[in-house]
Structures are given as structure tokens and as C-alpha cells.
Amino acid sequence: MTEIKRRRIATNGIELSVLEAGEGPLVLLVHGFPESAYSWRHQLPALAAAGYHAVAPDMRGYGESDLPADITAYNQWDVSHDILGLVSALGYEQAVVIGHDWGAPTAWNCALLDPQTVRAVGALSVPFSPRGTEPPLGMLKRVFEGQFFYQLYFQTPGVAEAEFEANIEVTLRKFYYLASGLADPSMLGGERGPNDDMLSQVSDPGHLEPWCSTSDLAEYVRSFERSGFRGPLNYYRNLDLTWKRFAEVPQRIEQPAMFVAGDRDGVIVMAKAALDAMPQHVPNLAVNALIEGAGHWTQQEAPEAVNRYMLEFLAGLD
């Protein structure tokens, strides 16, 4: 069995707790919301066995990493520099960065910010989309006026935290089920209005087998019992600040790239235009694949397929 170790590493003025395995070229694995480094539990040993040094951090605000108090500390400029700082902190000059969910834009942004350090980039679930022409929060308010939209619900500090932290285990079970490929529409509740919460109408599925066992869920619960949801939700509260910070950053990915998602992922439905346009902005897109039957939790719901795509992509870089 490949040994997975945990340690804390200083980067970009904070410390991140990381899981790591293997020796060789560096591959950084960046998780999303609401997860942790543990979401890469299937990829760490596979990459190590293939001759890579695989490192998955708990992102700032999550798990055993530092939890900055300032809401603005969670903008993508700072978060991306956390990941870029890990490369030199781990003793490398270059790395491949692969992200899922919120980790996907972080991976894309790392590639844009420092193409010398990020020799290749991968994303799961969220395709690359160039910076828009208007601040994103105003656009979302206009598009979803009079409707419930989770990113707008997350904007007011304390509201989603109170809902999610009331019962972390039930929250995570519902949230994970809601976006999984196994979700039954009859359990997702009816239409929500702009003043509704997110999960009270969602039925508790009771379990998340086969992709998330009882012990897997317990690991996530332990992580969020330590961190709470404030830091993770703050990523959504920096949409406009991130938009401003990246005003002068080039918006074309020149490195070799991979994209993989589940064909039952709701993000793919929302981001279809970005998915269709991605080859225009990512000309060296070596892998662009949808996994049949998988939902949003790509690397957990379909670990064998994700590992296969990932290892084929990495092998093609050498």
C-alpha cells in the first residue's frame, strides 16, 4: 500500500496542511467546495505508483489548514498564489496543477499567472472561461432575479453558515447527493424562491454508497467540524474582487491541458457555452472528456476513469 503522509507547509504567508505520496515530478491536486484534500484519496496512490510526487492541500479556510479571518483573503489571486507557492516550498521549479470544482479555476488561474512554473494544467468539472466583461455578481443577480441561486444565497455572511453548521453530517450528505450522478429528482425538492434556504427541501438520502462510504463521510465531517463553513463560503464572496484582480492577466491557456467531467454534472449544463468554446481559449487541450453516469464529484464517483485520463495526460508530457 502506498503511504500517504500529512504535514503543514508554509506558502504565501499562511500554512496549508497537505496530503502527499510518492516521489518524482510534482503534481498538485486542488479540491473544491465543500470538500478537502481527502477528495483526492483515489488519485494520490495512483499517481505515486506511476512515479509522481502527488500533493493535495486542504485549501485555505478548510480542514487543517490556516483559516484567515478576512473575507477578502479568499479571492482567487491569493488562493492561486497559495498553490504556486507550494511548488518552491516543496523544492521544485515546475509542477502540473489539477483542480476540481473551485480548484479548477484555481488551476486555470495558476496556469495564467505563472506559465513557467505550471508546465501543464488539468481541470475536473469546471471548464476554462475567460474573464467576463462585467463584474460577475451583478450579472448573476440580473440573470437569477426572483429565483434561488446558490451562489447568491452564499453572499450574506452567516446565513449559509447557520444552515450548514446546524448538522454538518446531514448537510454534507444532502449536498453531496444533490450534485451526484445518483441523484433522484424526486428527492431534490421543488422550486426554490430567492428567500429560501438551500437544503431543507432536499430529502436525506441516508447514504452515499458506493462512491462515499460512511467512513469517508465521517472524514469530511471531522474536517468541517474543525474549519466550519465560513472560509469555504468566502470563496463565493470574492467573485467581484477576483474579477478586478485579474483585469491585466492574459486569458489564454497555452500549456498542455486536460478537462474531464461527468456527463450528469449540473455544472456542465450551466457552463455548456464555456465547454463548447474552451478549445478556442485552450489550444493545447490534449484531453477533453465526459464520463458517462458520473455527477459533479468526478474523481470520487469515477476514480478509475479519472486516474486513467490523468495518467495518460501526464505520460504525454514526457
Residues contacting residue 279 through CB under 8 Å, at least 6 positions apart = 285, 288
Catalytic residue among 58, 66, 101, 265: 101
Q: 142 exposed, middle or buried (CB, 10 Å; 0-12, 13-18, 19+)?
A: exposed
Backbone angles phi, psi at 31, to 5 degrees: -85, 175
Q: Which residues of 211-222 are buried (b: 16+ CB within 10 A; e: fewer)?
A: bbeeebbeebbe
What is the DSSP secondary structure assignment for residue 190, as one 8-state letter? S
Tell me, yes or no, if 296 is annotated catalytic. yes
DSSP 216-272: HHHHHHHHHHHH-SHHHHHTGGGHHHHHHHTTTS-----S-EEEEEETT-HHHHHTH
CA distance 180 to 301: 8
Secondary structure of residue 186 in the 3-state scheme: helix
Catalytic residue among 31, 53, 100, 296: 296
Cβ–Cβ contacts within 10 Å for residue 311, how many? Answer: 17
- Residue type at 299 in one-letter notation: Q
Of the candidates 143, 139, 142, the residue with the CA atom closest to the CA atom of residue 131: 139
Residues designated as active site: 101, 296
